[in-house]
Amino acid sequence: MGPGGGRTVGNRCPLAPRADSPAPGQDYADANKGSESARGASGQRGRPIQSRPIQESTISKAFESSRDEFSVSREKAVLVSVQLPDRLWLTADPCDEIRGLAESAGATVVGELTQKRHDVQLGTYIGSGKIDELRDLVESQDADVVVFDNDLTPAQGRNLEKTLGVKVLDRSEVILDIFATRAQTLEARLQVELAQLEYSLPRLKNMWSHLSRQVGGGGIGLRGPGETQLESDRRLAGTRIRDLKHKLEEVTARKEREVKSRGESHTVSLVGYTNAGKSRLLNALTKSDVYVENKLFSTLDTRTRQWHVPDFGKVLLSDTVGFIRHLPHNLVASFKATLAEARHARLLLHVVDASNPLAEEHIKAVNEVLEELGCKDKPTILVLNKVDKVADPAALDILKAHYPRAVAISGLTGAGVTDLTEAVVQALSTDVVGLEVTVPAGNGKLLAFLNANAEIFRQEYRGGDVVMRCYVSKFLLHHLQGDGVRYADLGAEFVGRAG
């Protein structure tokens, strides 16, 4: 317990009110940020909510990221972690991960509270005695927000906010808003907005009292109570969700075409737990300079770079969004377009932070998400990264014993990168065949293709032909055609003649 550092980064965070957002009660889309007891945009707690007709355009604006990072005020947060029989604490520090999430979202952690329970209190998740203790902690630290490392129901969140007098966020809300902060491209913003709307929609009724106001009734010749504000908001939100899904279908189709167009290339994707060092490894392997920062979810948009592997050829290496335990299902579903690189890759490099005491739990969490994405049976190399930061060599030895085919490396120092390269070449070589290819010297197009896509280790001229001995991917053999083009397997008898 005690103060913890946190720097507000990005464009949107529920832990600090948006400078350009409507006041409470003006927009449904901010419903997941609090209720009547939440701290208002002016910083005053208990500010009465003012009702105002909601327009569809305000729903869209609520998810726009247009604010400079320095205009976001930092808020003080108290963390709560509850252990249940089916959700055990994995380390001696139960708040370790939620602390990292809260600080990544821009909060300053000023207090922590933990409790072990056999089951949850239906109305408030924790018992009345613990609520009193939590209220005292909030008041003594002058906290602005309480962050649970558990998922709360809408009713639980509302009841806790009424009792504590500050806004209450659960784990999923924090993760969703970190994603919103990090989203840079149109694709990522669409995906995050959809996930947020789908998460917020069932919470409308319990989080905003003004939504029970009736609108549209009482006109001349009209009967009945008219449409309530809640119904209006739900209708507008439903319309926006349908629009977003339609746009994402177009994005997904375009992304799938883009990824499939690389079908004749060797494609490798980096996957793994958030902050496992995937981006730094991408830089180490490809000599590029993509953004690297020691924070959770620093990468949301897939980045692909060329990796020139000695004695093998060109490989397209992609860095994908990191995973985390208990990742909101809506977020996984929304980000399937971004994760298309992993689904279509010929090989996955599962990067693990070997210095983290929870490395094996992280491996399990990533494997669960990969299974959800349909990547369970895809060829995978386990990469034990950050070995330079391992405090206990015995812990690394245990990981190696549990995963004997894993490759230990350091993306920072470069140790083990050669071993990883050899493992990648071996894995991709199952699709490679050694050939002697004869091409007429006048067929410049095919000669250029082979120079770009094959690993040539001998070349000579015989009359009017160019004879190459090379390694070629099996899925490229259909290019070896034309008048006078011949090829033979170096390890067997003549295997084919084209043209």
Domain harbouring 468, CATH code: 3.30.70
On whether both 223 and 324 belong to a single domain, the answer is no
Residues 6+ away with beta carbon under 8 Å from 189: 63, 65, 180, 183
More confident residue, 328 or 16: 328
To the nearest whole percent, how much of the chain has pLDDT over 70?
74
Would you say residue 413 has pLDDT above 70? Answer: yes
Would you say residue 154 has pLDDT above 70? Answer: yes
To the nearest whole percent, how much of the chain has pLDDT over 90?
32
Average pLDDT over residues 63-68: 35
Would you say residue 292 has pLDDT above 50? Answer: yes
Place 426 in a pLDDT band, splitting at 50, 70 and 90. confident
Give all strands (DSSP E) within 10-106, no chain letters. 75-83
Contact 145, 169 (CB under 8 A): yes
Within a domain: 423: no
Q: Per-residue pLDDT tens for 359-368?
A: 999 999 899 8
Would you say residue 45 has pLDDT above 50? Answer: no
Average pLDDT over residues 153-182: 88
The domain of 7 spans 1-261
Residue 470, classed as helix, strand or coil, is strand
Helix (H) or strand (E) holding 307: strand 303-309
Q: Residue 256 corresponds to which amino acid?
A: E
Q: Per-residue pLDDT tens for 251-282?
A: 878 877 776 666 567 889 999 998 899 999 99
Lookup: tokens for 435 = 């050939």
> Which residue, 235, 261, 287, sits at the end of a domain?
261
Within a domain: 245: yes
Phi, psi of 318 (to 5 degrees): -115, 140
Contact 49, 209 (CB under 8 A): yes
Pairing of strands 407-408, 380-385: parallel
> Which residue, 261, 292, 310, sits at the end of a domain?
261
Within a domain: 298: yes
Average pLDDT over residues 224-233: 63
Would you say residue 36 has pLDDT above 50? Answer: no
On whether both 129 and 237 belong to a single domain, the answer is yes
> Which residue, 261, 285, 320, sits at the end of a domain?
261
Determine the Cα–Cα distance for residues 323 and 290; give it in Å rounded to an integer: 19
Cβ atoms < 10 Å from Cβ of 345: 25
Q: Per-residue pLDDT tens for 297-312?
A: 766 677 889 998 887 7
Q: Per-residue pLDDT tens for 89-124?
A: 888 889 988 998 888 888 899 999 999 999 999 999
Lookup: tokens for 314 = 């060109």
On whether both 41 and 152 belong to a single domain, the answer is yes
The CA radius of gyration of the chain, in Å to the nearest whole number, is: 28
Determine the Cα–Cα distance for residues 366 and 12; give it in Å rounded to an integer: 26
Q: How many domains does the chain have?
A: 3
On whether both 387 and 459 belong to a single domain, the answer is no
Q: Is 338 exposed, middle or buried (0-12, 13-18, 19+ CB in 10 A)?
A: buried
On whether both 125 and 80 belong to a single domain, the answer is yes
Provide the pLDDT for residue 369. 86
On whether both 271 and 227 belong to a single domain, the answer is no
Provide the pLDDT for residue 423. 93
On whether both 221 and 87 belong to a single domain, the answer is yes
Q: Residue 223 corresponds to which amino acid?
A: R
On whether both 176 and 268 belong to a single domain, the answer is no
